[in-house]
Each structure stands twice: as structure tokens, then as C-alpha cells.
Amino acid sequence: MLAFLSRRFRRWALIAIALPVLAWLLERAGMAVERRRPNSRAGRALRHTGGLLRPRRGGRGEREDVGW
């Protein structure tokens, strides 16, 4: 079924749907790791990576602090 969709639509679907879901999953996994081990490097890295996938809002270079 995906073969019949245009390349542009598939790319849009990836950016609009898959990346935000992936960012949310990474942030949730990071929070779960940090709940078990509060000073875990892996938890911080997961949350940071999830934050990088989130779209920027506001001015140039402004990003929500994710703990790094």
C-alpha cells in the first residue's frame, strides 16, 4: 500500500507523524531510566535526543532545557 503513495507524501508522513512519536518515546524512556537511577547518563542522553527531535518554537536557538 505504501508503494502507491507519492514520495513526497511518504516523506511528509515520516516528518509529521513518526519523528514526534519517536521523540516522545525517547523522552519517556529517558524519564523511566532516570526514575530508577536519578543520575544516569543514559537517561539524560535519551531525554536530550528526544528533545533534539522536537520542533523548535520561539526565537533562534531557543530550546527547552532537557537537563544537559
| Nearest residue to 67 via CA among 49, 56, 59, 53 | 49
What are the grid coordinates assigned to 40, written together? 544516569
Q: What pLDDT is recorded for position 35? A: 92
Give the domain ranges of the chain: 12-53
**CA–CA separation, 57 and 26 (whole Å):** 19
Q: What pLDDT is recorded for position 60? A: 56
- What tens digit of pLDDT does each residue of 28-66 get? 999 999 999 988 899 989 988 888 887 666 555 555 555
DSSP string, 33-63: HHHHSTT-HHHHHHHHHHHHHSPP-SSTT--
Indicate whether 27 pLDDT > 60.
yes
